[in-house]
Amino acid sequence: MSIEIDILKSIATAMGKLKDSGRIKELVGKAVSQGIPAVKIVESGLRRGLDLVGQKYEAGEYFLSELLFAGLMMNDALEILKPYLKLEKTEKKGTIVLGTVRGDIHDIGKNVFKMLAQAAGFDVHDLEVDVEPDAFVNKLKETSAEILGMSALLTTTRGEMKIVMDKLNETGMRDNVRVLLGGNAVTKRFAEEIGADAAALDAVEGVKICREWMGK
């Protein structure tokens, strides 16, 4: 048991300290060879490491480069674990429908959020950019997602978010979905004005909010 704890701790620490990707892969390989279940490696090793990255980001020690590199390390590690994860029962944290609103084709922040949300265990359906209001609604129906994430860079396009909110109300779906807004044009006040549940200042805060909503 102590070897297992040590390896998982090493994975979390290496991820948190952004050791090179090769080191993470080596540790994950070692964990697999020790018979540690893949789900446990993800939950108690990699995601714990990602939490450390998130904490350092919030503390102003890590910035965008560090988030992106942590995401890359996570993906490399998950590649190794993929065959094992297929055999084990994995629990999704929740489902998110995501996209940049109609008329807006900016996606950097949205993509960072997507990467972190997936790494945190969410199932993310990314509709990409310039998304029609009906496309958000249809995807929510299709996936029964608990969360809708909308992004807008421009103040000229954030009005689209209100159109989507109206559609959710018209179709009676509003009570079944939490709405999270993000992007440069969005403020917490704007989210309140249009009746969204929250606005995130950045991708890390966005994932934190989603985790709180799902109680995980």
Partner 1 sequence: MTPRERIKATIHFRKPDILPWYEEITPETLIRWIKEGLPIEKLTLVELLIYFDGLLLLNDPTVKGFDPYSYFGFDNLWGCAIPIDMGPIPRFKRRVISENDRYTELLTDTGTVARRLKKAAYLWYNMPMWVGFPVKDRESWEDYKKRLNPNDPRRYPKDWDKDVYLEFYENYQGSNTIFAVTGFYGFGAQLMGIPTFNLMFYKDPELIHDMAEHWEFFTKETIREAIETLKDRIDMIFWWEDMAYKHGPCISPKLYREFFLPHYTRVTDFLKKNKIDRVMMDSDGNINPLLDLIIEAGITGLWPLEVNSSMDAVAIRKKYGEKLFLAGNLDKGELAKGGEAMRKEVDSKVPILKETSGYLPGMDHIVPAEFTLKKFKEYSEYIKKHLPY
157 is an interface residue for partner 1 by CB under 8 A? yes
17 is an interface residue for partner 1 by CB under 8 A? no
- Residue 105 Cβ vs partner 1, minimum distance, rounded to whole Å: 4
- Residue 210 Cβ vs partner 1, minimum distance, rounded to whole Å: 17
The tokens describing 14, both together, are: 């290496």
Q: Between 59 and 87, name the residue whose CB sits nearer to partner 1.
A: 59
Site map for partner 1, 165-194, x if CB under 8 A?
-------------------x--x-------
105 is an interface residue for partner 1 by CB under 8 A? yes
Instruction: Give the contacts of 192 (CB within 8 A, at least 6 positions apart).
Output: none
| Residue listed under structure tokens 């606005």 | 199
Instruction: Give the contacts of 7 (CB within 8 A, at least 6 positions apart).
Output: 27, 30, 31, 34, 36, 45
Residue 7 contacts residue 31 (beta carbons within 8 Å): yes
What phi and psi values does residue 101 have, to the nearest 5 degrees? -65, 165
Single out the residue of 9, 23, 43, 68 in contact with partner 1 (rule: CB under 8 A): 68
Q: Between 107 and 146, name the residue whose CB sits nearer to partner 1.
A: 107
Closest CA to 153 of 115, 178, 181, 180: 181
155 is an interface residue for partner 1 by CB under 8 A? yes
Closest CA to 20 of 95, 78, 73, 98: 73
62 is an interface residue for partner 1 by CB under 8 A? yes
Q: Between 5 and 108, name the residue whose CB sits nearer to partner 1.
A: 108
Q: How far apart are CA 156 and CA 147, in angstroms?
A: 24
Let me know the angle formed at the C-alpha of 124 by 168 and 39, rounded to the nearest 5 degrees. Answer: 135
Q: Between 68 and 173, name the residue whose CB sits nearer to partner 1.
A: 68
Q: How far apart are CA 148 and CA 159, in angstroms?
A: 16
Q: Between 20 and 212, name the residue whose CB sits nearer to partner 1.
A: 20
- Residue 74 Cβ vs partner 1, minimum distance, rounded to whole Å: 13
Site map for partner 1, 112-141, x if CB under 8 A?
x----------------xx-----------
Give me the residues that bind partner 1 (CB under 8 A), please.
18, 20, 60-66, 68-69, 72, 103-109, 111-112, 129-130, 153-157, 184, 187, 201-202, 204
